[in-house]
Amino acid sequence: MNCGIPYCASGVLLNGMAAGCPLHNLIPEWNDLVYKNQWQDAFERLIRTNPFPEFTARVCPAPCEGSCTEGHILDAVAISSIEYQIIEKAYKEGWVKPVRSSSTGKSVAIVGSGPSGLSTAYFLNASGHHVTIYERSDRPGGLLMYGIPNMKLGKKILDRRIEVMKESGISFVLNTEVGKDLPTQDLVDRYDAVVLCSGATQGRGIAVEGKDLTGVHFAVDFLKAATQSVVDPIGKPISALDVNKKKVVILGGGDTGTDCVASALRQGCESVVQFEILPEAPKERDDRSNPWPEWPKKLKTDYGQEEAIATTGNDPRHYLISTRKIVGDSEGNVSEIHTVDVQWVKDPNGRMIPKEVPGTEKVWPADKVLLAMGFLGPEATILDELKLSRDPRGSVATEDGKFKTRLDSVFACGDMRRGQSLVVWAIQEGKLCAREVDRYLMGKSR
């Protein structure tokens, strides 16, 4: 409670990484209220900045803890755990209620029901606008539903929040892909404003021989199939993405790679390995190159790797390794993957590049290869239809700080605008975008 300056709430980028909470949560305030046993007040303080604490408490990597002032000297305060307890007690006690406001008569269409879409809808609805969310999947939630495994974010937790949003007056239109089943221009013509929150769903592939063999899949497709088999298992045929009794190779680290490891283990894979082209992170923060309150760049053994170590005796991660080619059998199915070790060296321009280490070639047996190497940006369908511009990274170009595209009534936020990022950033994007839409519709925003 006596940390001085609460860097945990800063939410800034230092060396390209989040330092402190992007939502600017008033963390010391609700910590103090919990300490005083004033739980409902703590809940009210928490939702002042964060509409969905039940999501962030479960899936956010907690940049707040990485910048905790106490953590500069000792261990950081367990902020995520406290946030989790506040919101779960709030649901249990009935403090989480539908948010209603007097109608403005304005209507807004939101394309995509991921964290940025839900956040935008929450705040626009609270401002009195009629909000309709369009989702191409059979269930709302976007990345929260089909991109994050059930054991990490239980779908009953997501459904619980969706029901509250429906009771608040927000409408959901499912199984409708805007730009395909419904022209985007129809929404522009029918609604006072349209917000694009479709995410950065164009997966990053791999340019090697064998990339098109049967058994090579994007990680997000595998995770979606795995979740579908959990939430609606009755009558579902065995998916081509099932890895039961298969040898699984995951290309890429990060949260997506971790989720693939854990999901493969739960499906009963024969083996699972994870390749990372970067070196293994140090076990402790380097205070010279990575000083507090920057996000601590140190080795993290996440739940997927912990489970692999517990069940197989081995850490699935292999560092400084690059894929040369993927080889198939006579029927075109993946059978093995060829790799070589690399070291990082400076090129003539001073940039660090991977260089192969001679004599380190290796062949790995593989039945499934999952690509968990990130995303390239949003899909082109809606952007091409509306002739929207892209920024140098391939994301939707918007006015600085205003989230507005080249079309006056069309806005964009979340991963679609800023590129692949954390759930907590997507929620903050939705909040800030809602403010700009409100200003556009009403001349000012509360």
Q: Is the pLDDT of residue 1 over 70?
A: no
Q: How far apart are CA 57 and CA 85, in angstroms?
A: 9
Q: How confident is the model at residue 235 (pLDDT cuts 50, 70, 90)?
A: low
Q: Which position has the token pair 């929260």?
A: 144
Provide φ and ψ at 173, rounded to 5°: -115, 110
Averaged over 405-409, what is the pLDDT? 95
Distances (CA, A) of 356 to 209, 303, 340, 373: 17, 31, 7, 19
Q: Is the pLDDT of residue 37 over 70?
A: yes
pLDDT digits (tens, 9 = 90+) for 86-114: 999 999 999 999 998 999 999 999 999 99
Distances (CA, A) of 143 to 146, 150, 178, 228, 364: 5, 12, 17, 13, 31
Q: How far apart are CA 97 and CA 126, in angstroms?
A: 12
Q: CA nearest 380: which of 223, 218, 190, 196? A: 196
Q: How confident is the model at residue 238 (pLDDT cuts 50, 70, 90)?
A: low
Q: How far apart are CA 118 and CA 113, in angstroms?
A: 6
More confident residue, 253 or 35: 35
Averaged over 323-348, what is the pLDDT? 96
Q: How confident is the model at residue 125 (pLDDT cuts 50, 70, 90)?
A: very high
Averaged over 406-426, what is the pLDDT? 95
User: Which amino acid type is present at position 398?
Assistant: T
Question: What confidence score (pLDDT) does residue 7 get?
Answer: 93
Query: CB-based contacts of 69: which residues, under 8 Å, 6+ apart?
Result: 3, 4, 5, 6, 7, 8, 293
pLDDT digits (tens, 9 = 90+) for 43-87: 999 999 999 999 999 999 999 999 999 888 888 999 999 999 999
More confident residue, 399 or 234: 399
pLDDT digits (tens, 9 = 90+) for 174-211: 999 999 999 999 999 999 999 999 999 988 999 999 99
In percent, the amount of the chain with pLDDT more than 70 equals 99
**Domains assigned to the chain:** 7-93 (1.10.1060.10), 107-201+376-442 (3.50.50.60), 205-373 (3.50.50.60)
Average pLDDT, the chain: 94
